[in-house]
Structure 1
Amino acid sequence: MTLAPNKATPDRETETAELELLEMGELGDTVAEFEDQQINVFGGIPGERVVARIYRYRRRKKKIVSAMVDTVLRASSSRVAPPCPYYGPCSGCQWQHISYDAQLELKREAVARSLRSYPALSGADVSPTRSGPSRFNYRNHARFTVRYGGQLGFSNRITRRFVRVDRCMLMGESINEALTALQDRCGETTNLSIRIGANTGNRLIQPTFKNPEIEVASGQTHYVERLHGWPFRVASPSFFQVNTAQAESLIDLVRERLELTGSETVVDAYAGVGVFAVLLAPHVTRAIAIEDSHSAIEDAKINAADLDNLTFVEARAEDAMRTIVHEYGLGGPPDAVVLDPPRVGCHPGTLEALLELRPRHVAYVSCDPPSLARDLDILVKGGYSLDSVDPVDMFPQTYHVECLATLSAGADR
């Protein structure tokens, strides 16, 4: 393992403190009281007592104090030995030191905690987190930092130190093969991305490299992945779920929660490359996909192949939702709307339009519990009932959690 010199060296790098770890906080860190303030502690578990290294630094002109566990004095029963040699210096996996069952419960609690912050959602029942088939080697997308003449690795979130990584335990095997071929040869860039089709063997590497020592192809503009056997072309800048197997499970769950019978009209309001719209279309009478990215819409049209009941709308969701009934001759509200917005959540105009449109069912997919809870509060106050909340472990070994919430309109629809 190579640690580069720390360019943002804390004032007292060797400072340590004995800390009692409280609840799990932001970014997958535990919270502790230190010097009359609460600080984030990387590598802990609630209830533990530890000796931690203290880091003092400035970010965006603000003084920040953080800590990293150095020695565990009183261990949680959920603590396990992290299998990755880079764990700690590389902060990408926040929870390798926590047993997998405990990770699943922490993710369920993170969703529940966000919902409890809104009185209208405080009684919501959050299901156990749905585990995936793979706890490691599940990611189909890697973004590497490049430093020191072409070394690939990651930068620690707290120390800002660069850590050379020769193999990442979260990445699919094809990504690690490319990493080996690219390591020490990529000095012409500062960042690179590798994306793979877990079910197709396709691989995309950006940017284009000119170094003749690099023997893997690079500069591809698209790659192809299959979900439930259906091919999806994905452009290099387009969003696609990083865990292929769990993406398939999530699609099945959306279908199940919407209770589709085949007679419905369904709208996919943040369609991207068309995953939900394309895979739901064979199970409904009509599907409409809304997306404001031209490149994503172009991919989605190709991905739709010969589906004749799927219509694409290139527009912002907050605009298209207001006119969709009249412009596309629906004759009334759609039966269901699928929302899968960016991490920040839905645009306020989208939620306003949804409450005016009032479809019978809404399926909301989110990777950010706070923004999900904020938007669900608006929908529930607008007359919807929250029927189910299902966390899905799309990101094992990290604090991130995907979640599906389903809602239904009241009888006054």
Structure 2
Amino acid sequence: MNPSISKVSKNRYMSLDPLRNKDDNREYADLRLGDIGELGDCVADFDGEDISVFGGIPGELVRARIYRYRRRKRSVISGMVCQVIEPSPHRVEAPCPNFGPCSGCQWQHIDYDHQLELKRRIVSDSFSFYSTLSDINICSTVPAPSQFEYRNHARFTVRFGGQMGFSNRITRRFVRIDQCMLMEPEINKVLEGLQDKVSETTNLSVRVGANTGDRLIQPTLHAPEVPFLSGQKWYTENLKGRTFRVASPSFFQVNTPQSETLIDLVSEHLALTKEQILVDAYAGVGTFAAILASSVKKVFAIEESASAVSDAASALSDVENLEFLLGKTEKVLGEIDDDIDALILDPPRIGCHADTLKAVIDSRPLRVAYVSCDPSSLARDLDILVKGNYRVMNVQPVDMFPQTYHVECVASLSISS
């Protein structure tokens, strides 16, 4: 479902302020919004200081409520748009009634084509700090097939005797959510059935298989009025015709259709042949490794999560040329004796360990596909690889997370002659 979205009229008063009904001392400022900054917010000058402003679009003139608080032992000032004085042509009506108070989505008020362009700009801005990356081709962002109802995993906060919702990232205030427009419909069914019934926990995780209908709810719920089975150790999901087992602690991409897009992009770049050795580093439950195994002679999949390796051992036992190596990539990659022809790097948000990058440079695979969910750590690591005799052929942003500032990238590298 992609809800209809209409343009917002000029000066429309926006209900973004999560404290708008509180009788307290409020501080407001009229601000001209600059570029997208940290956490997808706009940057604006407030009394000579750059602050982040939620709910705006670059170039707009807005009235914002100012928040002053302490976080990690330092004073922070931020803003939240409450009135748009000069709207951007890219502004639309946010379809979700919880947009703003919830803060889980940052960009529902921006038309989708412009979201894609802003994500490309975020990647470009991250690369601009490195002279080695100045000439890299950053492609247009691959759009998601669904702008809503795409998330297969939800982590709910539980407060006030069983109410489920999220915490606002600025105010830290709890916001009850009866339906989340980003979640797969099956997750919203669970939310509806469990709302006000889960007072025994403070957090609840719900994961579903978009292509299998499987469901995982953690932790185990004991209340007699709970209408769903819970406490499952794992669920299954299907990608590219292959079924994977995913345990509660194991990583799996939250957007199932776009996960297949990533696999296609990686496969296209690596151009694998039956004579080659492939290494899938930070392999998770083995999605890349298992699906690409039929294209190569041998696959080594490196993963430090024991639960993920156990998932792979149970679900992928028929892939005879796939070998899982349990351990940290920075320790295991350099110990592989075979000559590596192709390498997949799919690290967590912090990027690759320095020893991992050294092992890549030392082992000299002909082609590398680097999958990243953080443009800043990607740029840092690519700078090191370029200095280590690699060439970045292109970077392809992929929209795994519509309505948010998050962007996935696939960077294609080859060894320099």
TM-score normalised by the shorter chain: which range applies?
A: over 0.9
Distance 1:346 1:13, change over 3 A: farther
Distance in structure 2 (CA, Å) of the matches to 1:359 and 1:102: 37
Counterpart for residue 373 of structure 2: 367
Aligned 1:10-409 pairs, distance under 5 A: 13-325=25-337, 330=338, 333-409=339-415
> Is the contact made by 1:368 and 1:401 (CA closer than 8 Å) also made in structure 2?
yes
1:319 to partner: Cα distance: 1.4
| Structure 2 unmatched ranges of 5 or more | 1-15
Shift of 1:302: 2.1
**For the residues of structure 2 that align with 1:11 and 1:219, how far apart are their CA atoms?**
43
Structure 2 counterpart of 1:208, one-letter code: T
Distance 1:239 1:52 in 2: 37
Distance 1:185-1:135 versus aligned 2 partners, 3 A rule: same
How far did 1:382 drift? Answer: 0.6
> After the TM superposition, which of the residue ranges 58-67 and 172-181 deviates more from structure 2?
58-67
Deviations 1:256-294 (A, max 9, x none): 111123332100011111111111101111111111121
Q: Any idea what the Cα deviations from partners look like across 1:23-52, whole Å, max 9, x if unmatched?
A: 110001000000110000000000000001
Q: Percent identity?
A: 60
CA contact (8 A) 1:278 1:303 kept: no
- Secondary structure of the residue aligned to 2:217 is strand
- The AA in structure 1 aligned to 2:39 is L
**How many residue pairs end up in the alignment?**
400
Change in CA separation of 1:11 and 1:318 when aligned onto 2, cut-off 3 Å: farther
TM-score, with normalisation over the residues of structure 2?
0.94
Structure 2 CA distance for aligned equivalents of residues 13 and 386 of structure 1: 52
Q: Which runs of 4+ in 1 moved over 3 A?
A: 10-13
- For the Cα contact (< 8 Å) 1:13–1:53, is it kept in 2? no
Q: Distance in 2 between matches of 1:13 and 1:198?
A: 46
> TM-score, normalising length from structure 1?
0.95
Using the alignment, how far apart are the partners of 2:307 and 2:23 within structure 1?
A: 47
- How far, CA to CA, are the matches of 1:63 and 1:271 in structure 2? 39
SS of equivalent to 1:78: coil
SS state at 1:188 partner: coil
Are the counterparts in 2 of residues 13 and 54 from structure 1 also a CA contact under 8 Å? no
Aligned-residue RMSD, C-alpha: 1.6
- Match of 1:39, SS state, is strand
Q: Is the 8 A contact 1:52 1:67 kept in 2?
A: yes
CA offsets 1:97-133 (integer angstroms, 9 cap, x no match): 0000000000001111111110100111100000111
* Contact kept in structure 2, 1:202 and 1:224, CA below 8 Å: yes
Question: Does the CA contact (< 8 Å) of 1:12 and 1:56 recur in 2?
Answer: no
